[in-house]
Structure 1
């Protein structure tokens, strides 16, 4: 299982089972339906629909469809449209209902009207909105702070009666009392996770400071978890309509008021009215073309200031997006004075579809999130103690212990009886044995470990494998679970090969000194086989997939005894240091010999011992991270990630025989380039000072499997190139459907093109060049290993999103094509990988 696929599965797992999702208002009066012409039965767009006696309303979309929700009491719905008779309909408060309406046209005698061609008035208004964006954007302020309330919910949707009546569901019948129906989709749903948080939010433009102090948080099914609480606030949702492109699910959606909006949308000026003290205009918009990352929806804009008063956006049909069937985002702004509008409330609704089948028949998930702002203060300097906080999100010690009375007063609205009961209902579900079994299966697949009490057995994909050194390899391993401790995790494994008849093993632990900011200490010892010159993304030793997908005999493994201890300290979010002591004893094999210069072909070397101290410095900003109790996964951010490694090899420590120094620097980042996709780049460089045997040089990252490795040279073999100074560049551009979406044959497949290029240049000093002609080196190179003073290049063109999780690349090795009797490389190859992407 590749790191990319495991990372995607882990993030999707977190998304579905810890509520890292999105929300809109729930448990209210809900109406949906369609408006048609009574005579022609054609859909009527732009029809005004409102709850009578309130200012809560909407308009029908281009297909005549509409939906409305409110907590405000109202017993009727008022529908009106120019040229048709207005109608009022009685409704049931606090319930969901479908109301389809046939409007009857009216006939009027009017004087003759002469219509002359001219510019669409909607375009004139749009240009004024764009011209005033800088003055109306909430992010324009030098600083602001507000109190925010966030409510998130995950729901299982599209539950049918035959599912409820299945034998397997007998233990869960009590939960169906909490069923509801979505006004947006009309699908019935069952809440399975709910969380609320109350925060103080701080923003400063220059220098950039963003802090959120969570004062209160409560989660169904989770009593005390500050790691999850940090994801329940406002910071992790940022839909700003004033941005030209809105990044959602790794796709840059074009804002309906983007500077170049006219290239992507058609606009319609449909109404005007006096709203909340301002004269406002109503505009609707829809995409010009299919499958582009665009929205369909409408907004009200205030006259004179041309600030958006509220906006509703729904993803256009056919957008090349995985796992998401539907999404609706709405933002409401509040007027702080005559010229300033600021965010009042954000709602986000996502319909996750986990299969490619008919979404009207298959179950999926709703993710719903709402964020409310109050007590907004503009251009108020942020207090120094807030700026000095060492993490963007801080969860107060008593945040998870607030009583019911606190929440009753803190919420901007009251929860209904059904909503209030969701907490106890979800807690009850987790005590049902069948539920626990289902979660166990999912967790095992995602993490690789089966959890039983205080222990996790696995990973399952290492239970059996095979290679030319060990033959058939059997491995048993595991680690302590969170039930054992959330402060310390102990791990270990035993392995045996039927060919080399040797027992391998490993044992270690990691101790969590502090979680936020992260501070850890650990020790790890292993006596096992190891592949020198592999990338951090490569299959680990003993992985069954590595055995099945090998393209060369898997015989370049060496025996390794390694003791490693580390101390990691995160000084503040985005900046950390890790110091390691690493002792290695590497043993040769018949395939990877260790030979020092000498007569009669050299002298055999029984092992290489090294003792190192390594200092790693990692820096980035605004990084999004998903955290478990011990592990965390980076989702990237707006700033490149910089890693600097300084390594000192110490002579005469535990038998080590070499003194040397290494510097390694890497910079990686993903540039969002909507609408052209995104570009990932990784620049690495390093230099070694000193004289060392070749296993301690930089053995450049090859790949001898048919699996695509983003962090390796996929057309390069192991032990092909070595350097003591080098620089490399990896580039990978994902077009996100930009090209194939325009080809009718591929449009429905939703495939996406990706191209990549990789280059490497390195050199070897004479003292480290282990060619047979150099008798001054400490060790001869194995046959086929050489320097890379002539730069190495490879490139690929691929298609990703095949069946939503398969990527296949055609790859070319562009140079170093001379035949080598010791290296069986390919000039062209096909590589594949599994990945989960939206």
Structure 2
């Protein structure tokens, strides 16, 4: 019996010695609830530990057990929790972000050992850049969540907010460890297939299924086009990554040593790959650069994974944090593609009494095939929705998601659905959308634009109006729109009515019939300023300069023949009826005439090689180009039939491009050239747009007076440079203000033929002097130079302009100061 007892004790100790302890759990961000990938988890007092995976999970198996578990990661406060004695336990952590401050770098003699690793990684950028593939195709799942956070007590006590606080307080999962609330307002899931083709550089995403729920979201077709993965692409093998319309330098870019410093932390095993783990730091904390960790494979110096943050100290407005985590996998051809990407953008409070915004993006990708390019015609539409994109079952999403929704995400969906039903929330969300878009959806029509509801000027006095248009719910083939307005002083009705037939939505093809009667100003015609709504609205308020009643009847046909190439053609009948003292001498009879009619045939082409276009309901909308310029060529032929009084020919060329210039910021140029053949009244000439207001605009020459110059042949180059934080980020006192330098240069050359000068009489038939226009010297350019500071108190900009030529003109001033307000990051 004693022997049996001793054997039992020995066996018990033996089993205890072989006991395997299992500790598992998840590490998340305490503010956002998002998983923290690549965090270090260590049993204190031992060397046993691991790093969390991309979902923030960890699992440690150990034969020994300490008294506590510690989690740490750069940019977060470290945290420890006690361990129990049980063989299997779950310990979750929520880490609080902390401000990251650069320390002092001290290196011994010789080169920093991290530099050689980065040098080799940078030299192999082309080898591993996915853009070097001939083509690739991926299957993507994308998840987006938007939350209102920083719910201050002042914000919560507002009458409009109290309606939701009771609901918010009832959902436990929508809090962090400190009990602070977030208010979800949007959640989407999208399943899509993404296609890329090289030479030429073409992209396309087909949205197969999308599930969108959000406060104020009424049209899934438009929203679904921007919730896919095409707008969530982050390629660290580019020199510059564009995020929120800002360009951030990659840690392995050409010239990396100019922007970054590095620490080689250690060598680690990531999956089956042995990697260098390097800490990266911006040399100047206010530069648009990243801080964080990158893992580079020892075998071939390719990126394995990144965990990078744009720190709060960077020269950005309102943005408290941008965090990007990414895992990369190699394709059979060699270049890397992202397998998982997570992005967090935290927008701070504009004022202490407002709330902040939290945006989360998550994308997983499976490679379908590489180097099997689709035909060029396939890429005609950048984003395409499948006909049944919004038809699905709950089982479909459960089987499609790479991972099930967390408790927090399920609570988010519950909260968004609840908010949508609260009347005060609907009122505010619709009101905000009305202000931003100009239109208020009411069933099958949109009321607006609100800019037409009222105005005041010296001709009309108080102007009252009302407009509406049909929307996608009415028809996806027909668009009806129009407005009417009445001036209480001039007692004239103004109106616009248009009927558009959408013939093809894939290769955008439309036919439009439009008629309008409106007040215009010579050189400030509404048609030329439709892309600058703020300046247009301001120019129609107060004193109108050389106003006239413009009546137009137009037939227009549009067709996109291939990606980026749009053809426009049509006829236009117009009447010019001046409200100021205007006369011209008729070409043949040399009689005085003060009004005229034109009949024009028009044709134009527009080409944007990489311009991103989406179909917003029944309207084609451009989101701009990434790399290549946008080119336009327009032709108009004036004819003397169907009521036309004048024969002439117009040709115009326009070129625009945005230039990424690295440390020097971003440049933009516009080249505009044109010629008019024929003898025409000066309102038909190119009346160069001046700006006599105190406000800065990119649409005008800011030192030129209204109606100062006109030309029948001209060429202009307008260049503006945003230096971001260049130079000012290095000045000890100025850099704290986050001011940014701007500069501009505008050059114009033009001329007018003698016959177009001769048709303008000096006096009217009653002998009253007539004002006409200034004439540019064809050998002497008009030049203005500008410089200034933007981001003053985050909103204001001041520009100083010098007029360099034509100082002998009446009322010419050599120096101008212009101000403007803008909301920029």
Are 1:216 and 1:400, in contact at CA under 8 Å, matched by a contact in 2? Answer: yes
**Cα distance in 1 between the residues matched to 2:744 and 2:435:** 30
Distance 2:377 2:263 in 1: 45
Per-residue deviation at 1:546?
3.4
Q: Is the 8 A contact 2:446 2:471 kept in 1?
A: no
1:831 aligns with 2:811: no
Tell me the CA shift for residue 120 of structure 1: 2.0
Q: What is the Cα deviation at residue 257 of structure 1?
A: 1.7
475, 482, 499: which one aligns with 1:492 = 482
User: In structure 1, how many angstroms separate the alpha carbons of the residues matched to 2:91 and 2:517?
Assistant: 65
In 1, are the aligned partners of 2:520 and 2:548 still within 8 Å (CA)?
A: yes
Q: Secondary structure at the match of 2:257?
A: helix
CA contact (8 A) 1:351 1:367 kept: yes
2:463 alignment partner in structure 1: 474
Query: 1:557: which partner in 2?
Result: 547
Kept in 2: contact 1:537–1:710 (CA 8 A)? no
Secondary structure, in 3 states, of the residue corresponding to 1:399? coil
Cα distance in 2 for partners of 1:382, 1:562 equals: 47
Counterpart in 2 of 1:346? 341
- The yes-or-no answer on 1:519 pairing with 2:509 is yes
Residue 799 of structure 1 and its aligned partner are, at CA, apart by 2.0
Distance 2:534 2:385 in 1: 39
Using the alignment, how far apart are the partners of 2:333 and 2:750 within structure 1?
63
Instruction: Give the equivalent residue in structure 2 for 1:397.
Output: 387
Which SS does the other structure have where 2:775 is aligned?
A: coil
Is residue 741 of structure 1 aligned with residue 729 of structure 2? yes
Are residues 224 and 405 of structure 1, via their aligned partners in 2, closer, same or farther at CA, if it must alter by over 3 Å? farther
Cα-to-partner distance string for 1:287-344 (whole Å, 9 max, x where unaligned): 2223111111012211121111111110123211123211100111235579765421
Match of 1:63 in 2: none
Residues in 1 aligned to 2:95 and 2:419: alpha-carbon distance in whole angstroms: 31
Task: Report the equivalent of 1:231.
Answer: 226
Task: Give yes or no for contact 2:202–2:610 (8 Å, CA) kept in 1.
Answer: no
Deviation at 1:610, TM superposition (A): 0.2
Compute the displacement of 1:169 (Å).
4.3
Structure 2 CA distance for partners of 1:225 and 1:546, relative to 1, 3 Å: same
**Which residue of structure 1 lines up, in the alignment, with residue 135 of structure 2?**
143
Indicate the SS of the match to 1:299. strand
Please state if 1:97 is matched with 2:83: no
CA deviations 1:423-453 (Å, max 9, x no partner) are 4542342222111110132123223445555
1:694 matched residue in structure 2? 682
Residues in 2 aligned to 1:69 and 1:362: alpha-carbon distance in whole angstroms: 32
The aligned residue for residue 404 of structure 2 is: 414
- Give matches, 1:426-575, under 5 Å: 426-450=416-440, 452=442, 456-470=446-460, 472-480=461-469, 482=471, 485-487=474-476, 488-534=478-524, 535-536=528-529, 545-546=538-539, 554-575=544-565
Aligned 8 A contact 1:282 1:299 in 2: yes
Alignment of 1:164-183 (within 5 A): 168-169=160-161, 171-172=163-164, 173-178=166-171, 180=173
Aligned to 1:299: 294
Q: 1:491 deviation in Å? A: 3.6
* 1:647 equivalent in alignment to 2:636: yes
- 1:611 is the counterpart of 2:582: no
Matches within 5 A, 1:231-380: 231-335=226-330, 341-357=336-352, 362-379=354-371
1:759-798 aligned within 5 A = 759-770=747-758, 782-788=770-776, 789=778, 790-798=780-788
Q: For the Cα contact (< 8 Å) 1:734–1:754, is it kept in 2? A: yes
Q: Distance in 1 between matches of 2:783 and 2:29?
A: 58
SS in 2 for 1:427: helix
Match 1:70 to one of 42, 46, 56: 56
TM-score (normalised: structure 2): 0.82
Q: Shift in Å at residue 268 of structure 1? A: 1.0
Q: Contact 2:607–2:631 (CA<8 Å) still a contact in 1?
A: yes
Output the CA distance in 2 between the equivalents of 1:340 and 1:619.
Answer: 31
Answer whether contact 2:637 2:648 (CA < 8 A) is retained: yes
Moved more, 710-719 or 513-522: 513-522
Partners of 1:831 and 1:792 in 2: CA distance: 19
SS at match of 2:774: coil
Using the TM superposition, give the Cα deviation of residue 628 of structure 1 relative to its aligned residue in structure 2, in angstroms.
Answer: 3.0
How do residues 47-62 of structure 1 correspond to structure 2 at under 5 angstroms? 48-49=40-41, 56-57=51-52
Residue equivalent to 1:204: 197
Q: Which has the higher contact order (CA 8 A, sep 6+)?
A: 1
Kindly indicate whether residue 580 of structure 2 is the aligned counterpart of residue 590 of structure 1: yes
SS in 1 for 2:131: helix
1:484, 1:408 → 2: CA distance?
Answer: 30
Q: CA RMSD in A?
A: 3.8
Distance 1:448 1:146 in 2: 37
Task: State how far apart, in whole Å, the 1-side matches of 2:287 and 2:786 are.
Answer: 25
* CA pair 542-72 structure 1, distance change in 2 beyond 3 A: closer
CA distance in 1, matches of 2:736, 2:558: 48
